[in-house]
Amino acid sequence: MISTSEKRFIRYWEEQRTGGRWSYYALYIIIGTLLATIILSTFLFLFFQVIFGSLSFWVALFAGFLISFIATVLTWSSNEKKFKKIIRREIDNGSEN
């Protein structure tokens, strides 16, 4: 039997994966890079007085890209495994009954 949280997850994940893996990656890596770069740049400016355009800013941009890339890939694989596990469990339960 599928719980309500699993039903919610299945609906969410089916919607997210409609465009495929690469469109998911493109969207979330771009957004994640933008957000992480803003956060890291603000942190560098407030605590280390790093100025926009310096080498440290480019390091923040690269770090933001790397963080968002890793998070996106891990999220996709984790959600895909969870989705397949739920579907497989329900198929197995259906065939037993």
Q: Total domain count for the chain?
A: 1
In-domain check, residue 3: no
The whole domain housing 42 covers: 24-80
- Examine the pLDDT at 86 and tell me if it is beyond 70: yes
Domain annotation covers residue 97: no
In a domain, residue 9? The reply is no
- Asked if residue 42 belongs to a domain, the reply is yes
Q: Give yes or no for a contact between 49 and 97, defined as CB atoms under 8 angstroms apart.
A: no
pTM, entire model: 0.83
Average pLDDT estimate for 17-26: 92
Using one digit for the tens of pLDDT, what is the confidence trace for 23-60?
999 999 999 999 999 998 888 888 888 777 778 788 88
pLDDT at 93 over 70: yes
3-state DSSP: the chain helix, strand, coil percent, rounded to 5?
85, 0, 15
d(CA 38, CA 43): 9
The dihedral formed by the CA atoms of 57, 58, 62 and 68, expressed in degrees to the nearest 10: 40
Encoding tokens for residue 63?
A: 């770090």
pLDDT at 97 over 70: no
Let me know if residue 32 belongs to a domain: yes
Contact 49, 41 (CB under 8 A): no
HSE toward the beta carbon, residue 45, CA cutoff 13 A: 12
